[in-house]
Amino acid sequence: MSSPHVVQVNMTEFCEATDLSVAYVIEIVEHGILEPEGASPESWRFTDYELAVAKRASALRKDLELEWEGVALALDLLEEVQLLRSENQMLKQRLGRLVQNP
């Protein structure tokens, strides 16, 4: 069940917010880049996180001239890099405390 703090929009609102066509959004969902709630495009509900992902996916496709498979891979790799950076920062902080308090 969704958190009450998560913004959810329908397909029309999503398309307006992302400046994408319905067909484009369906294509993004078919490639697993977005995972809206709902059984069909008419009932899909998107979160604010998915709004950001869609904008990023669209920019990657346009700027790098990638197919959707490439966009999905690029997004996965970017997410992994972000997680590794966060983990690295946490480990550096822990190491810094250990070195300061021998």
Residue ranges covered by each domain of the chain: 8-100
Does the reported pTM lie above 0.85?
no
Q: Which distant-in-sequence residues (6+ apart) come within 8 Å of 64 by Cβ?
A: 70, 74
pLDDT of 1 > 60? The answer is no
pLDDT of 6 > 90? The answer is no
Cα 99 to Cα 7, 19, 85, distances in angstroms = 43, 51, 21
The structure tokens 């604010």 sit at 48
Identify the pLDDT of residue 4. Answer: 56
Predicted confidence (pLDDT) per residue in 24-33, tens digit: 999 999 999 9
Q: In the structure, what pLDDT confidence band is assigned to residue 99 with cuts at 50, 70 and 90? A: confident
pLDDT of 3 > 60? The answer is no
Region 74-102: mean pLDDT is: 92
Check residues 25 and 102 and name the one with the higher pLDDT: 25
- At the top level of CATH, which class does the domain 8-100 belong to? mainly alpha
Length of the chain (residues): 102
